[in-house]
Structure 1
Amino acid sequence: METSIIMLDERTDQATRQMLQKVVERKNKFERLKEWHLVVMWAVVFLSFSYFAFLYYQLMVPYAYSFAAMFSVFVNQSANLYCLIFIIGLFGLMNVLRQKREKAEKEYHALRCEIIDKSKDLWKKEDEWKNRHIVYDMMKKNYDINLFHENK
């Protein structure tokens, strides 16, 4: 469990600390997937551009007089097939990571909204209710998780 969440001894009970820990874990998972998706997306863009530029200068320019000649040269080099399969595979990985990122984002925001909705139940006592802003400020400052409003 995160140390700053453990330090919330008198302000929260164990169940609330577990919920805060889970929202931090889901935020970290979402951020990690978002970074990986971005890296793979830029790799797909860069490699696709580079591969098609390579094909243009190696196939299109010298063999522009005949499509059959271009196709014959393309098929005769097996590295073209491997490069094409690799780029298509990266494109598929990018789509899988996008789906996982969207799912992780939904889970993160659902749990964050659940904490906001149940705040009256989580901080039942009057003094806990008045000091809940300290917990909210800590979550915003340390983990960039806004518990004040449901909107992103």
Structure 2
Amino acid sequence: MESTILSLKQTDQATKQMLQNLVNRKIKFDRLKQQHILLLTISVFYSFGCLYFLYYRILEPYSYSFSEIFSILVGDNTHLLFIFLAIGLFGATKVLYDKKEKAEKEYHELRCEIVDRSKDLWKNDAWASRYIVFEIMKAKFNINLYHESK
């Protein structure tokens, strides 16, 4: 458990565990978001490189005949490998995007649950000091617990 969360005096153990789960989901979401952006960038640059190569090496010299272009593309396995690799990269980007969206949904649902249950988690004596927990979560982990909207 994070040392910051362990040092909170205003919360009980169950609330600390909920906050730790929220931090873990936020970390997972941020990691998947960075991976998605990286893979998308690689996919786009690789695809532009393949298109550049195909245009100047195949399409431009053999533009007089579609059948000649097709036979050159299909005849050499490396050309097909480059094309299928580009398609595979975009497929992997889509899979990573779906994982990122699922992680964001889980993170947002738990965050909304903590916001909704804040009256139960911080009873009357700790209600006045809950803003300290909210400020720590915002400053240290960039998690906003003041309201439900993203």
TM-score clears 0.5: yes
Alignment counterpart, residue 142 of structure 1, candidates 137, 140, 145: 140
**Shift in Å, 1:101:** 0.6
Alpha-carbon distance in 1 for matches of 2:69, 2:120: 70
2:27 maps to: 28
- Whichever residue aligns with residue 84 of structure 1, its letter is I
Matched, 1:3 2:3: yes
Shifted more, 79-88 versus 104-113: the winner is 79-88
Alpha-carbon distance in 2 for matches of 1:146, 1:116: 9
- Whichever residue aligns with residue 145 of structure 1, its letter is I
Identical aligned pairs, as a percentage?
53
Provide, for residues 60-80 of structure 1, a one-character-per-residue CA deviation record: whole Å limited to 9, x for no partner: 111111111111111221111
Alpha-carbon distance in 1 for matches of 2:68, 2:38: 36
2:131 maps to: 133
Alpha-carbon distance in 1 for matches of 2:73, 2:115: 59
Q: Secondary structure at the match of 2:104?
A: helix
Alpha-carbon distance in 1 for matches of 2:115, 2:74: 59
- Whichever residue aligns with residue 130 of structure 2, its letter is R
Alpha-carbon distance in 2 for matches of 1:66, 1:124: 78
Matched, 1:124 2:114: no
Alpha-carbon distance in 2 for matches of 1:90, 1:61: 26
Q: Secondary structure at the match of 2:33?
A: helix
Runs of 4+ in 1 over 6 A off after TM superposition: none
2:46 maps to: 47
Query: Structure 2 unaligned runs (5+)?
Result: none
- Whichever residue aligns with residue 33 of structure 1, its letter is L
2:85 maps to: 86
**Shift in Å, 1:125:** 3.1
**Aligned residues: CA RMSD:** 0.8
Query: Structure 1 unaligned runs (5+)?
Result: none
